[in-house]
Amino acid sequence: MMRKQIDFLTRFQVVTFNVAMFFVAAVAFVAGWYLLGLRLSGSGGWLLLYASLFLLATGLVWAWLWVMVKIPQEMAARYDEIKNRIASGAITDSKEFSHELARFLVRYFNFYRFDVVAAQVKVGQSKAVHFSDEGLSPVAGEEEFSERSRQTEALIRLGTVTAGNRKLYGYLVPVWFDEKWLGYFAVFTDTRLLKVYQNYLTDFEAYYVDDQLMYVLQIEQLSGKEC
């Protein structure tokens, strides 16, 4: 029942957003057309250029705003699948969690100007897990990432990294629970991320990853497995 309620709210928010955007765009277009028509009476060429530029600008703004709304809107519902697998006992150790998290990072964050093409997840002293739907393996220093992520809780910009002949941008997110370092996850994107998208990654760690990983580690410890 809860999942149906979340899906309904998501659809309602999507419809509301699209209706509001259409209304605002329509009002802005008509107002601009009217004012331009007063100044350039009878100049159809300028009006046609205005319409073309307006549509282009509206499309770009809508795409950007859509990403801003879409990411937090659906994150909880999509990540709920991992939480359910932990609660049901399908995920019982840090390795399984790392695989699920790396897959989620790549397959969920595939938005306009925020497209994660590869991810690396490391928990404690265990070996890092890599995932990419495109088979990319960015040159990434596992030990270096561990050391750097132990020194801060803030996102670390890695700059450009290479994956074959492809240039990517790397972002390292330390995973902490209270004062305890649990590991890190790193994402690699085709484009340099805006600050707001970097904030989404740190919020994702704070509100979704750290407590679930701590729970998995407790299960692992009780079952006698080693991280």
In a domain, 84, yes or no: no
Q: Is the pLDDT of residue 165 over 80?
A: yes
Over range 179-203, report the average pLDDT: 94
Q: Are residues 69 and 119 in the same domain?
A: no
In a domain, 86, yes or no: no
Euclidean distance between CA atoms 165 and 180, whole angstroms:
37
Q: Are residues 190 and 163 in the same domain?
A: yes
Q: Phi and psi dihedrals of 56, rounded to 5?
A: -65, -50
Q: What is the span of the domain harbouring residue 161?
A: 92-223
In a domain, 87, yes or no: no
In a domain, 207, yes or no: yes
Last residue of a domain, one of 76, 109, 136: 76
Q: Are residues 31 and 119 in the same domain?
A: no
Q: Are residues 116 and 174 in the same domain?
A: yes
| CATH number for the domain harbouring residue 180 | 3.30.450.40
Euclidean distance between CA atoms 225 and 91, whole angstroms:
13
pLDDT, tens only, 10-50: 555 555 656 666 666 666 666 666 666 656 665 566 667 76
Q: Are residues 26 and 61 in the same domain?
A: yes
Q: Is the pLDDT of residue 58 over 80?
A: no
Last residue of a domain, one of 28, 46, 76: 76
Q: Are residues 71 and 135 in the same domain?
A: no
In a domain, 131, yes or no: yes
Q: Is the pLDDT of residue 148 over 80?
A: yes
DSSP for 142-206, written as a single string: HHHHHHHHHT-SS-EEEEEEEETTEEEEEEEEEEEETTEEEEEEEEEESSPPPHHHHHHHHHHII
Over range 133-157, report the average pLDDT: 90
- The number of distinct structural domains making up the chain is 2
Q: Are residues 71 and 26 in the same domain?
A: yes
Q: Are residues 126 and 42 in the same domain?
A: no
In a domain, 198, yes or no: yes
Q: Are residues 202 and 99 in the same domain?
A: yes
Euclidean distance between CA atoms 161 and 159, whole angstroms:
7
Q: Which residues pair with 181 in a beta bridge?
A: 176
In a domain, 208, yes or no: yes
- 138 band by pLDDT with thresholds 50, 70 and 90: confident
For position 2, what pLDDT does the model report? 39
Q: Are residues 97 and 135 in the same domain?
A: yes
More confident residue, 196 or 1: 196
Q: Are residues 41 and 105 in the same domain?
A: no
For position 75, what pLDDT does the model report? 84
In a domain, 205, yes or no: yes
Long-range CB contact pairs, 84-93, < 8 A, 24+? 86/212, 86/215, 86/216, 86/219, 91/216, 92/216, 92/219, 92/220, 92/223, 92/225, 93/216, 93/219, 93/220, 93/223, 93/225, 93/227
Q: Are residues 177 and 96 in the same domain?
A: yes
pLDDT, tens only, 92-117: 899 999 999 999 999 999 887 889 99
- Rounded to two decimals, the pTM is 0.74
